[in-house]
Chains A and B, each alone.
Chain A
Amino acid sequence: MDVAMTSTTRTVCPSCGGPIADADRFCEACGAELQPAGPSTPALDTDTEPTIELNPAAGLNPAAAVVPGPCQSCGGTIGAEGYCETCGAKAVKLRDHFTEQPAPWVAAVCDRGIRHSRNEDAVAIAADPEPGTRALLVVCDGVSSSLDSDVASLAAARAARDVLVAGRAQGMGTESSRVAAVVARMKAAADAANDAVLENTSPDSPNPASCTFVATVLEDGLLVAGVVGDSRAYWFPDNAEAMALTVDDSWAAELIATGVPRHEAETGPQAHAITRWLGKDAPDHTPRTTVLNDVTGPGWLLVCSDGLWNYCSEAAPLADLVRQTAAAHGGEPLAISSALVDWANAQGGQDNITVALARL
């Protein structure tokens, strides 16, 4: 990609995933005709997205960024500063807990957890109404040692989701070209997410914002997962072995690769040190991708942050947890996601928790 091209809005060919510029009418790579830019009906329903301001700190009335209604601790009135006028409890910020459900079979819950004062996790998802057809799930986990990671992670997740939504791979008739298109779109989504992090980082920040990235694209039986960092995707088919779709970019993963038992590696002092991330000081943010063909279900696709898997890392027990939770909640994805977040909080809620689920 040359310099001129990177300066335009970064988009990809919906057919093959090749790079295209705004002005292009046809894809340089595969020759597919491109839709002119401008108003078009969104491919997927994202109306359920909560109206969270990306930067509530920028002089907004704090009360506007909180969950409306009475105090959730004592039922008192929430004052203009966002605190209860009776018990003083801080009103729950929209950013601290939000849910999305673009279609009945796909849902996500993002929660502050217990021990952290901010929710630096973010989720952005989209899906077609027809169950099992098309779902796009993105989770970003802001690095808490850096500034403004809560703002950056949400901007990143939404930017990536929007890139994933914008194209639907047709390929050139072959399965391999369809995979190439989705993988290219995954890379473009990570680029867009990285750009979003940079846009939300002050140029002179001593500690630039950064976050992880994990995304899954499910389209007509093709499942592609991409990862930067230690947020994860899993596939739990009902009638086959559960599998992790991603390998963490972390010290723990590197230790596991050298033969250290998983439990030991993931509870060690460096367990949460990640080796790759998105952000200004990121050495490389190309997502590592995993491709599964002929994914038809039935099964659960799970994308989550370490706030969940810290308490259940291995694919098999985590699959059991999801299946048991599903059984207890009538198989309803939003209720199951909420219940999984509650479960992680019950284990201690040491980190922000994000759960995105699709039922195939």
Chain B
Amino acid sequence: MDGGKVTPGRTMALLAGASVLRLAMFTLLPGLPDLLAGRVEISTPVTSFKRLQEGLFLYNHNVSPYDGGVYHQAPLLLPLFSLLPSFAAFPLATYMLYIGADLLSARALLRIAGSGEAGESALFASPRREKRASGLVVAALFLFNPFTIASCVGRSTGVFTTCAILHAIARAVSGAPLGAMVALSFAAYLSMYPLLLLPPLLLLCYDRQLPKRATRSLTQFATTHLAVAAGVLAALFWMSFLVAGSWEFLPSTYGVQLTLSDLAPNVGLWWYFFVEMFDSFRSFFLAVFWLHLSCYVGGLTVRLRRQPLAVLTLLLGIFAVFKPYPSISDTSLFLALVPLYRHVVPLMRYTFVVAAVIMYATFLGPAFYHLWIYAGSGNANFFYAITLVWGLGQSLLVCDLTFAVLRDEWEVERPEMVGKEIRQI
């Protein structure tokens, strides 16, 4: 399958297979969607489908959806879901919406892989680019990744963010910077953290401009496109204001992410830390955590200026570990982009360790959560320890991929060092 050519027939077969699998899980295993929707690994306070339904109920009864402090998601999801036939009466419509989002993400991935940006960007061409993965493989690895399937069946609204981010990248690599800005604004509107992807995405757009209407000045390009993104965001906020009737959605959606007021356990590193934190230092450490999350943007963008897509991939990996309410849907987005760098995999040193650690955490995580919450024989430390392992596995993958990408770049400069042992100090 390695050299699998992307043909319309094969693509259709892949997408059909993925949708049939999802539909089967939705319909043939009636208990599964609700079981997955209740898992903390999939449903965080800001992506949970149950909370979305609560908000929807309030919204349909003309009560502010943010009353009661359960719903923390973007207001525009509400009219979208209330346009669908009611989930209780006709769940298939909701299922189709989620499956459609996954298929759209897969299509975006096909386009990203097809562009060859990972191997050969405007400023840099990897000597190994011949070995890159086919788009079909990349899309299949995304569509049949258990994490992706679980997020889809668990109906986490993170699926839509994933779709928007992948579309932003796909638009960027196909030379449509305005489309990329619009898609990224949607992603930022839904989850806020994608806003940090703006600098590398701007560079990616700038590098992949169509020659006939290219803007030469980076400053001018950045200013216009930032203005576009700001305009789209402003429009989205204005529409939200009209839907919600007041600005109170801002503190209930983005405010919750900024202040971590909901301390429900999840696979991230924040909740336990802030459960234990002294009250007087809480706001300081919130700022530290957010700064830590955002400080990688500048450094990585400057260091990997010649490969903006690699910056985006690495940043998504970092966010999946360090963002306030991460779930496995964030990990699935990161893992969707990693196969684009198949050509540097031979340079990676810890692939086995990373795979083992991620598998270990995947299987033990639910078990430890069960021991803590249901069996009562463990405590919160059990679950937190396994989320640390989970974070360790992912950050190891991020580090390893960074190393591989940098080494790939370096070997262009120093061709005589290819294949030599190297040590990082």
A binds B: no
